[in-house]
Amino acid sequence: MSGMSRIKEFNLPDLGEGLTEGEILSWLVKVGDTIELNQPIVEVETAKAAVEIPAKWAGQVQAIFHPEGTTVEVGTPIIAIDTDPGAGPLDVPSTTATPGGDLPTPSAASLAAVEVAPAEGMVEPGLIGGPAPGGRTAVLVGYGPRTTAAKRRPRKGGVPAQAAATPAPAPVAPAPQPVAEATPVAAATGGLVLAKPPVRKLAKDLGVDLGTLTGSGPLGSITREDVQQAANGAVVAAEPIRATSVATSAASFGADREQRIPVKGVRKLTAENMSRSAFTAPHVTEFLTVDVTRAMKALDRLRGRREWRDVRVSPLLLVAKAVLLAVKRHPMVNSTWAGDEIVVKEYVNLGIAAATERGLIVPNVKDAGRLSLRELADALNDLVQTAKSGRTSPADMSGGTLTITNVGVFGVDTGTPILPPGESAILAFGAVREMPWVHKGKVKPRQVTTLGLSFDHRIIDGELGSKFLRDIGDFLADPEAALLAWT
């Protein structure tokens, strides 16, 4: 194999759902490393998740084109691989990007020796980096650094170009002056005493001569404390008068006390989705407070069963089951507004909102309505653990039909959640608290929670939304009775 065909460039693939760019979080290989087929080579954060991308070829890394922290468009080459390193040395020198620096300008020969990865690679369909329906590959134009200097547009009303080009004389540093000894304010200011009118009035009332005091305030001004100490016979320690500007002595409210966080990745996508949903779908939110004491006791009994002892069982499991059963009774809730029609879905991809270090994500359990309670518990646990580790794939966050947000884990009673785009309902599950509750005619401490249901009023009217929320509450109030009545 000739050097002309040994070197292959690997382009950043479309990681799903029409993503257009990704940020390189970390390189898992370096120039000179020998890699295997499908070995993870780079971790990339997209607008949906952080994913590891495997190599399309086995071989030796010859070049890394983008340092960590760089945002790269889909279709842009990110790494070059020698697919036959055992054939001998290459005539083409290796290149690598320095973190934060410009890329070296490749020669015409080196560019000609690099073979761009074909659209259909060696990775099996379905794997990251492999062929995908509707995928696209961007054309790389103008590879390498700019060859022309950036030009700045002239300012209106500015100085002529010739005058602007004339260098200004360098400022001359003032000669150091000896530090003056501390003197009373009146002497330092030529007889002028710096004090506010209220302070002057206080001094007059207390019989204190301001001219004899040394101020402790800004610019040596006299404060109320200085006057009160003098009136009490205390000796105010003389402070050296420093020529301090008002700007530096006053509190700073500028950029030095601000933090600017780039909006990108998951947070950027979340912001776009929430803004689009909030101003597209007419939201309505209803609330219901429920006595869930029986549901909590049912969970305790479930945890005690032998076949459930190795499973993490939380109240979210019963809330998810309640939502799935309520959807069967009110299928219109699980639908999408499609302009001139409403698409009612016979499957439920149940989304669970999860807060991660990179922002809010909503992975979903596919076809959750077909799962048994044990299978649902396992799926929820896997979903949460994957989200916490930052390994949720774009596929797991695509295609959701209805969502639950468990704000109760933060000690919040409930909220008015915003619909994920394309969904018609989202349920907020609040904290379960022990509260006084009227039970069988007597006030007793009971386990109580508050539910908040937001829905798209184009699809779900008040009656349907109220019945759906009521059924969820009925199940949580008495799970055994609801199961007997509905199944």
pLDDT for res 314: 93
Q: Which of 10-24, 48-62, 237-251, 269-283 has the highest mean pLDDT?
A: 48-62
How far, CA to CA in Å, does 227 sit from each of 89, 250, 282? 86, 22, 63
**How do residues 349-367 score in pLDDT, each as one tens digit?**
999 998 877 778 899 999 9
Q: Calculate ∠ Cα 442-445-451, nearest 5°.
A: 105
Neighbours of 370 (CB within 10 A): 11
Per the residue annotation, which of 66, 283, 439, 457 is the catalytic one? 457
**How do residues 47-100 score in pLDDT, each as one tens digit?**
667 788 899 899 999 999 999 888 888 889 999 999 888 877 766 544 444 443
pTM here?
0.55
Annotation marks residue 439 as catalytic:
no
pLDDT for res 300: 93
- Sort 69 into a burial class: Cβ within 10 Å, 0-12 / 13-18 / 19+: exposed
pLDDT at 452 over 80: yes
Buried b / exposed e over 254-281, threshold 16 CB at 10 Å, is eeeeeeeeeebbbeebbeebbeebeeeb
**How do residues 401-415 score in pLDDT, each as one tens digit?**
999 999 999 999 999
The encoded tokens of residue 383 equal 């979903």
